[in-house]
Structures are given as structure tokens and as C-alpha cells.
């Protein structure tokens, strides 16, 4: 007889960014390992992020409980409603609608702590307790960010007496991209992390370096801290030919960056290296195409600066099946990571590896991703800002492409360790351990 797990997941289909995939794939494969998921999440119409309905079918079998939340988008709407009533008064003191909206949003973000997901907390806890009574789960699972989701899971676990499994897709206090202003808020942030993690029966991270860091902070929990990488789903790639040569674009060397570029992931070093490569190879300009598929608006000015190269294409985000098609049909893939990201492993790294395409990785050489790429047999890993190195790698890729020899040399046996189905099996082993059904695994491989 299958047991049930109550899952708190703020990011869930039809939301469409990378943080959703991990939960989707766990939910998809859990029943094969004896666990039925009950998912508490937000209402899809409260989403202010891109949507991807391709994931919905994969989780259709799961019981899904949707609750409201109050996001930045809704706060902006409230500000505009207030503007209609306060317009005459504010106009006298020289303030406009945008001032009110921005000011209201700033006050909201100051008050809502640890993140805007805290507005979902009371709804999630209420529905979670109802789900405990109705479905009788054996384990509670909460995935973050947003980190307030962990507080929801901790509260329901505390009130129900059930074991809590915490899944940190990104580190909390030690997240380099999480900037907290003020000494008091930092203390509260540390307290909330300790409350959630110290009270968990098991803690899961997506990186080994992250797990090692948490073991130094939570020594009493060190044997219950695991790493389960994000991985890839073999079924997503089953219908695609994995080849280093592009399909339909054989007249050009096509290198693709799939995914959004956020403020810390500047394409400038790559574009400088690309410009240097094209300058040395006069024929290269007509035989190279670089595609950036995803949101890149943070770097609009940077791309304009290199518009004269005539080889860069900017494309809108696509749903996940389209992203897989681009990965497998490209001659090469581009991965950009910033300085300071040694403990970060982007989810798409594993799909890049699964595609079988050569990867040009521009990232910290002492980071976890660099080691993963080397272990997988990837040849082109360049330090952040090494423009000459980028140009050299592009030249090597181009020469091999011209000779018809640009093919991936990925160690598929190594990559298969990151298949989503086997990673879900590891998660279910942890569930069984904390539920008391079997001994706790010493460490997920």
C-alpha cells in the first residue's frame, strides 16, 4: 500500500521557471516508489512569473490544493487603486502615481519577511492541517525558495507531529544572491533558518558544497543532510537525436544559451570573446550564429553594444519541450555563471549534459559546476572574464565544426547518475527513513 507525502511547493505548474521542474519531476515519479504526493501550492492566477503549461500533464495524477497569496503584482494594483482616491491630495505635493506604487511596494517588501511568500503562509498552514486530517500523510516535505514555505512546513509538522523533510533548492542565509539590509533583519533571518532546519528530520540540498556548509552549521543534523542534484528526465530527451551537429542549421555553427540571464550573469565577457574570435576569422562572421533563448532584458544595452557583430539572435522564452529541442539541435551550448557562484549548480546544467552537445562553460574554475563538467568529459571550461580563453575555445569549436568533428564527448555513464527517476528514488528512500520504515541512508550518492 502506498503512503502519502504532504508537499508544500510555492513554485508549481503552471509557473514556468527552472525552480518548478525539480518538484514536478519528484511528483511525477514518486508513485513508482510507493509514495502518493499531496501538493499544497498557490493559485495559478496569482502567478507573476512566466507560465509553462507543458508541465501540467506530468503532475495531473497528484492531489493539488491551491490557495491564494498576495504578490508584488497585487500590491501594485492596490497602489493604483489608492491613487485614484488620493490623486488630488498627492498632486498638490507634486507626487505622481508611480511614486505611490513604488513606495507602497517598498513598504510591503520591508514588512514581508523573509520574503513575499509569507503572505501565503496562513493559507498554506490552514490547508496543510486540513490535508493532514483528510489524507493522513506519513511525511511532510517543503521546498524553498521562497523560504517562508519552510516555515509553513515546519508549523504543520510541529502541530501534527509528522517528520519534516526540507528541500533547499538554494541556500537560505548563505545564499550569495540574498541581500538582507539591517542587523535586526539579518538576525531574524538566521533565527528563521535555524527554526526550520534544526526542526527538520532531514535536509536536502542541490549541491555538495551547500551540504558541507550546512553540516558545519548543524552538526547534530550532519548525518541527515543530503545532496540530491536537480538532474534531467530521460523521457524529455527520448524523441530527440543527441548529436553535436545541429539539425536544420548545418550551414552555420549554432551555439545556444537556453534560459534567462539575470543581473549577475553578464554576457559581456562572452560577447567580447566572440568579437575577438570573429575579428581573427573573417569567414567566421557568416558561419556562426549565437542564440540567447530566454529573458535577457537586464542586458539590453550590452547586446546593443555588440549588435554590429551580426551573429547574435535574441529569442523569447519557450516552454520546456521547446527548450529541449533547442539544446539537442544546437552544435554547442553556452553556460554563463558569475564570480562567487562556486556553490551554485544551475538546474539546466544536467539537461545540457543530457543533450550530448559540447558545452562552453564560462564560470568559476574552482566551482562545483566546473568539476561536474570535467567529470562529464566536457573540454571547454573557461574562467569568468577570460576573454582570450573564450575566444580560443570558440576558435577550437569552429575548427572542429568545419571539419565535421564537433561532437559531444560526454561520459554518459556519469551523466546517467543524474536522471530524475533515480534521484526521486533517493528522495523516497529518505522519506522511508524519516517515517521509520527503514534505516536512514548514510548519504545519497
Letter string b/e over residues 63-84, b meaning 16 or more CB atoms within 10 A of that residue's CB: ebbbbebbbeebbbebbeeebe
Listed residue (345, 281, 346) closest to 309, CA to CA: 281
| Residue 227, pLDDT above cutoff 90 | yes
Cell of 161: 507531529
Domains of the chain with bracketed CATH: 3-70+114-231+419-434 (3.40.50.2000), 72-111 (no CATH), 237-415 (3.40.50.2000)
pLDDT in tens, 325-334: 999 999 999 9
Task: Output the pLDDT for position 176.
Answer: 80
pLDDT in tens, 312-322: 999 999 999 99
CA 87/CA 383 separation, integer angstroms: 53
Lowest mean pLDDT among 54-58, 68-72, 114-118: 68-72
Task: Output the pLDDT for position 119.
Answer: 83
Q: What is the mean pLDDT of residues 273-284?
A: 83
Question: Is residue 316 exposed (0-12), middle (13-18) or buried (19+ Cβ within 10 Å)?
Answer: exposed
pLDDT in tens, 97-155: 565 555 555 555 566 778 878 888 999 999 999 999 999 999 999 999 999 999 999 99
| Residue 78, pLDDT above cutoff 60 | no
Confidence of residue 249 (pLDDT cuts 50, 70, 90): very low
Confidence of residue 244 (pLDDT cuts 50, 70, 90): very low
Listed residue (176, 178, 225) closest to 205, CA to CA: 225
Confidence of residue 354 (pLDDT cuts 50, 70, 90): very high
| Residue 41, pLDDT above cutoff 80 | yes
Task: Output the pLDDT for position 247.
Answer: 45
What percent of the chain shows pLDDT beyond 70?
Answer: 84
- Average pLDDT in the chain: 87
Q: What is the mean pLDDT of residues 60-85?
A: 71
pTM for this entry: 0.86
pLDDT in tens, 81-93: 554 555 565 565 5
Task: Output the pLDDT for position 246.
Answer: 42
Task: Output the pLDDT for position 130.
Answer: 97
Based on its alpha-carbon atoms, the radius of gyration of the chain, rounded to whole angstroms, reads 23
Cβ 349 vs Cβ 333: under 8 Å: no
C-alpha distances (whole Å) from 283 to each of 143, 248, 287, 350, 402 are: 49, 20, 7, 33, 11
The number of beta carbons lying within 10 Å of the beta carbon of residue 198 is 13
| Residue 445, pLDDT above cutoff 50 | no
Cβ 298 vs Cβ 263: under 8 Å: yes
The number of beta carbons lying within 10 Å of the beta carbon of residue 275 is 17
| Residue 385, pLDDT above cutoff 70 | yes
Amino acid at each position: 500500500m502506498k503512503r502519502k507525502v504532504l508537499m508544500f511547493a510555492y513554485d508549481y505548474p503552471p509557473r514556468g521557471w527552472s525552480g518548478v521542474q525539480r518538484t514536478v519531476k519528484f511528483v511525477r515519479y514518486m508513485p513508482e516508489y510507493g509514495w502518493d504526493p499531496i501538493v499544497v501550492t498557490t493559485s495559478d492566477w496569482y502567478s507573476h512569473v512566466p507560465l509553462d503549461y507543458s508541465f501540467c500533464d506530468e503532475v495531473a495524477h497528484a492531489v493539488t490544493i491551491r490557495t491564494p497569496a498576495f504578490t508584488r503584482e497585487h500590491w501594485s494594483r492596490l497602489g493604483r487603486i489608492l491613487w485614484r482616491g488620493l490623486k488630488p491630495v498627492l498632486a498638490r505635493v507634486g507626487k505622481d502615481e508611480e511614486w505611490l506604487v513604488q513606495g507602497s511596494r517598498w513598504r510591503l517588501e520591508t514588512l514581508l519577511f523573509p520574503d513575499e511568500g509569507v503572505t501565503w503562509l496562513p493559507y498554506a498552514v490552514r490547508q496543510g492541517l486540513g490535508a493532514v486530517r483528510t489524507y493522513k500523510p506519513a511525511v511532510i516535505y517543503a521546498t524553498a525558495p521562497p523560504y517562508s514555505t519552510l516555515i509553513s512546513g515546519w508549523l504543520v509538522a510541529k502541530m501534527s507531529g509528522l517528520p519534516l523533510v526540507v528541500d533547499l533548492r538554494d541556500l537560505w542565509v548563505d545564499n550569495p544572491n540574498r541581500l538582507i539590509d539591517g542587523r535586526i533583519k539579518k538576525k531574524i533571518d538566521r533565527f528563521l533558518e535555524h527554526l526550520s532546519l534544526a526542526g527538520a528530520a532531514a535536509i536536502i540540498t542541490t549541491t555538495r558544497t551547500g551540504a558541507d556548509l550546512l553540516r558545519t552549521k548543524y552538526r547534530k543534523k550532519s548525518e541527515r543532510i543530503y545532496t540530491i542534484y536537480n538532474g534531467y528526465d530521460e523521457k524529455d530527451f527520448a524523441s530527440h537525436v543527441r548529436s553535436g551537429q545541429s539539425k536544420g542549421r548545418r550551414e552555420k555553427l549554432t551555439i545556444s544559451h537556453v534560459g534567462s540571464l539575470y543581473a549577475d550573469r553578464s554576457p559581456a565577457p562572452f560577447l567580447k570573446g566572440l568579437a575577438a574570435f570573429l575579428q581573427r576569422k573573417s569567414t567566421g562572421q557568416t558561419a556562426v550564429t549565437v542564440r540567447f533563448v530566454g529573458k535577457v532584458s537586464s542586458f539590453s544595452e550590452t547586446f546593443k553594444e555588440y549588435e554590429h557583430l551580426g551573429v547574435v539572435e535574441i529569442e523569447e522564452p519557450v516552454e520546456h519541450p521547446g527548450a529541449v529541442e533547442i539544446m539537442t539541435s544546437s552544435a554547442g551550448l553556452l553556460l554563463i555563471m558569475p564570480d562567487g557562484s562556486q556553490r551554485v549548480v544551475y538546474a539546466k546544467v544536467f539537461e545540457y549534459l543530457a543533450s550530448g552537445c559540447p558545452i562552453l562553460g564560462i564560470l568559476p574554475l574552482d566551482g562545483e559546476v566546473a568539476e561536474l563538467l570535467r567529470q562529464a568529459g566536457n573540454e571547454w571550461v573557461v574562467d569568468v572574464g577570460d576573454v582570450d580563453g573564450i575566444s580560443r575555445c570558440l576558435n577550437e569549436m569552429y575548427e572542429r565544426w568545419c571539419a565535421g568533428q564537433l561532437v559531444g564527448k560526454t561520459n554518459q555513464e556519469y551523466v546517467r547518475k543524474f536522471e530524475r527517476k533515480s534521484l526521486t528514488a533517493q528522495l523516497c528512500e529518505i522519506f522511508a527513513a524519516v517515517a521509520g520504515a527503514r534505516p536512514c541512508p548514510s548519504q545519497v550518492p
